[in-house]
Chain A
């Protein structure tokens, strides 16, 4: 029997879009990471897709939260003092 090289088939675009989060989290096994990057190297659409996912994450990270109002700060100061009184 001749030796057969068992090389995994290449990934297609529709698979790439499902692996993006695993890829960005460093959660792809090494072999899959290689296949992922080989596909990207030859596919401008998927490269654009990955860039869009990165941009989506960046923009989501800017949805930072509103400051606590002075009234709320006062309320939580009161909560703290109530707890201190209860604790002692």
Chain B
């Protein structure tokens, strides 16, 4: 996989301060959000994200490009955030299994009795894009931490499943289970908020 940060990275390594700041601009918000899913407060998350950048600066000489830069960077962040979260006794256990769709919406034979309510036209046409983004963001913020981490990296930031597994130290299968639950939650929220019968 080609590294989307390759160009900025080589400028940064050649001593270009501006290139470093551009890398920060590209990744800092994701790092902050990722950190927040591990620790209790925004202030601590900010501290962890900034520490991760300093660790990245100090460790850049050892980055050999075996993964993408963002995978390497987010893994530094995740490790620090996890350690900090543990020190706060904040654990993020495996969430118990839950169905993608409320079982009450299917009949005994597993066929829909209450089929999905359409909202996709609403999303495309009548709907205020801002209202939708706000609802989606708050649904994302409300996901259990591990689901939130995977959805954030895969669907918001666009990492591949391999990259996400490496950052979060997950197996492919577990990563996909968490992604599936997270996405299913978000779809349910959109249907509940914007579905029109």
Q: A56-B186, A56-B190, A79-B53 are in contact. Are A12 and B110 (CB under 8 A)?
A: yes
Residues 10-21 of chain B: 1 if any A CB is under 8 Å from the residue's CB, otherwise 0? Answer: 000001010011
Number of interface residues of A (CB under 8 A): 40
A59: B residues at CB distance < 8 A? 123, 132-133, 136, 190
Taking a contact as CB atoms under 8 Å apart, the answer to whether B180 and A18 are in contact is yes
CB of A30 closer than 8 Å to a CB of B = no
Number of interface residues of B (CB under 8 A): 50
CB of A8 closer than 8 Å to a CB of B = no
Taking a contact as CB atoms under 8 Å apart, the answer to whether A12 and B176 are in contact is no
- Listed by A's residue number, 20 A-B pairs whose Cβ atoms lie within 8 Å are A14-B110, A17-B101, A18-B180, A20-B100, A21-B180, A45-B116, A52-B120, A56-B183, A56-B190, A59-B133, A59-B190, A65-B33, A66-B29, A68-B28, A68-B29, A76-B20, A76-B21, A76-B24, A80-B20, A81-B17
Of B28, B100, B111, B186, which one neighbours A18 at CB under 8 angstroms? Answer: B100
Interface of B is mostly: helix
**Distance between Cα atoms of A83 and B59 in the complex (Å):** 11
* Minimum CB–CB distance for A33 against chain B, Å: 15
Residue of B nearest to A83 (CB): B57
**Distance between Cα atoms of A13 and B109 in the complex (Å):** 9
Taking a contact as CB atoms under 8 Å apart, the answer to whether B17 and A13 are in contact is no
B33: A residues at CB distance < 8 A? 65
* Minimum CB–CB distance for A40 against chain B, Å: 13
Residues 74-88 of chain A: 1 if any B CB is under 8 Å from the residue's CB, otherwise 0? Answer: 001101110110000
Q: Which residues 45-63 of B have a CB within 8 angstroms of A?
A: 50, 53-54, 57-58
Residue of B nearest to A53 (CB): B187
Residue of B nearest to A59 (CB): B136
Residues on A lying within 8 angstroms of B by beta carbon are: 12-15, 17-18, 20-22, 25, 27, 45-46, 48-49, 51-53, 55-57, 59-68, 72-73, 76-77, 79-81, 83-84
Residues on B lying within 8 angstroms of A by beta carbon are: 15, 17, 20-21, 24-25, 28-30, 33, 50, 53-54, 57-58, 99-101, 103, 106, 109-112, 115-116, 118-120, 123, 132-133, 136-137, 140, 151, 155-156, 158, 161, 172, 176, 179-180, 183-184, 186-187, 190-191
Taking a contact as CB atoms under 8 Å apart, the answer to whether A77 and B140 are in contact is no
Q: A18-B99, A52-B191 are in contact. Are A45 and B176 (CB under 8 A)?
A: no
Taking a contact as CB atoms under 8 Å apart, the answer to whether B20 and A60 are in contact is no
Taking a contact as CB atoms under 8 Å apart, the answer to whether B21 and A49 are in contact is no
